[in-house]
């Protein structure tokens, strides 16, 4: 088993604290991770380059400030960022020059299966700078195997080094991972990566299975911090690698101690949230939750049912007019929406 950890606490973990990691956090967490054996660390805004331009989603620091902090402090690990060209807040490709300026080793270019062509310029620019470039297929489960194959082929033509299967809603099963993994391995020279969310409690087991299959990179975060139900826990994943396979690449004791002392106090949510679970059941991306909240309140319908019924029509994009039509067909309920925890979700992430 040769899978390496891509640690995403300082990026995806930002969702859990409204993107308020400081430069000090970037240094402190990153150095602790590299001292424990982690060699890939993703950082900067949780929503990717330019994320602070989205109303209500401003991070404590700029992308450049986060990168400068990493350049100053990190000695062993490779670090980089994610960008999402499909979304309007993603900066012009010329602004990727900062990645070279601040010593980044990789960039991950994220796209949904229907917008893969928008990634071309960013992938090509990343390769021009000599970076390791990944194509991260968000909502990978919405693509058929044949559609996925076409997108992998296109991404390889653009020049990527790695293709990531991203379980954005935490709804994938092991057999799904295997299907997509086998497609990636049809293309010589491509690495494979997996990013799992924990909506149905499968993030850790799916990540372990992905490593067993032969995926090269597995995303994890301390305390499982991340969007919606969170990600694969770094602490649990490295523990399983040791217990099941005897892999001693990581200092488990220092990871657990640091996480408990420094990261656990950041965790505000405990227990399970029904909205996260139903995102997993339906394959619904949590960044659209503000629409569910608004329409469920206006038409007095159960948000769980609204999520499930809408996803029978579209799991990739949000059409609020269509959502309204779905709501009109649902029975009205006497519900208190304040009890559902809608305030946990970040709005406007996928507004084009």
Topology annotation, domain 274-344? Helicase, Ruva Protein; domain 3 (1.10.8)
Where are the domains positioned within the chain? Answer: 4-266, 274-344
The pLDDT of residue 347: 66
**pTM of the entire predicted model:** 0.94
Of the candidates 87, 88, 106, the residue with the CA atom closest to the CA atom of residue 96:
106
- Which tens digits make up the pLDDT trace of 118-173? 999 999 999 999 999 999 999 999 999 999 999 999 999 999 999 999 999 999 99
The pLDDT of residue 346: 77
CATH architecture for residues 4-266: Alpha-Beta Barrel (3.20)
Is the pLDDT confidence value at 251 over 70? yes
CA dist 215 and 195 (Å) reads 11
CA dist 122 and 107 (Å) reads 9
Confidence of residue 352 (pLDDT cuts 50, 70, 90): very low
Radius of gyration of the chain (CA): 19
- Which tens digits make up the pLDDT trace of 260-286? 999 999 887 778 899 999 999 999 999
- Which tens digits make up the pLDDT trace of 288-309? 999 999 999 999 999 999 999 9
Mean per-residue pLDDT over the chain, rounded: 95
């Amino acid at each position: 088993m040769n899978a390496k950890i891509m640690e995403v606490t300082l990026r995806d973990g930002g969702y859990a604290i409204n993107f308020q990691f400081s430069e000090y956090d970037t240094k402190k967490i990153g150095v602790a991770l590299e001292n424990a054996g982690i060699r890939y660390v993703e950082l900067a805004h949780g929503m990717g380059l330019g994320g602070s331009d989205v109303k209500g989603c401003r991070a404590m620091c700029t992308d450049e400030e986060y990168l400068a902090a990493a350049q100053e402090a990190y000695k062993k690990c490779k670090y980089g960022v994610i960008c999402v060209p499909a979304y309007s807040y993603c900066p012009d490709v010329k602004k990727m020059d900062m990645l070279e300026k601040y010593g980044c080793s990789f960039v991950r270019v994220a796209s949904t299966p229907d917008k893969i062509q928008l990634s071309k310029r960013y992938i090509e620019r990343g390769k021009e700078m000599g970076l390791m470039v990944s194509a991260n297929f968000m909502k990978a489960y919405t693509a058929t195997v044949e559609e996925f194959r076409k997108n992998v082929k296109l991404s390889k033509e653009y020049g990527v080094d790695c293709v990531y299967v991203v379980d954005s809603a935490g709804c994938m099963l092991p057999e799904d991972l295997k299907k997509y993994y086998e497609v990636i391995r049809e293309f010589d020279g491509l690495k494979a990566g997996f990013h799992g969310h924990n909506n149905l409690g499968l993030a850790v087991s799916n990540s372990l299975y992905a490593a067993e299959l032969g995926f090269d990179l597995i995303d994890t975060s301390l305390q499982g911090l991340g969007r919606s139900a969170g990600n694969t826990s770094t602490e649990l994943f490295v523990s399983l690698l040791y217990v099941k396979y005897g892999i001693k690449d990581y200092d488990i004791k220092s990871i657990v101690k640091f996480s408990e002392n420094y990261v656990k106090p950041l965790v505000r949510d405990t227990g399970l949230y029904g909205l996260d679970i139903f995102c997993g059941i339906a394959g619904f991306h949590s960044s659209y939750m503000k629409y569910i909240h608004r329409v469920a309140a206006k038409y007095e319908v159960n948000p769980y049912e609204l999520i499930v019924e809408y996803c029978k029509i579209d799991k990739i994009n949000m059409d609020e007019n269509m959502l309204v039509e779905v709501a009109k067909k649902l029975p009205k309920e006497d519900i208190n929406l304040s009890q559902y925890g809608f305030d946990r979700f970040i709005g406007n992430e996928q507004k084009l």
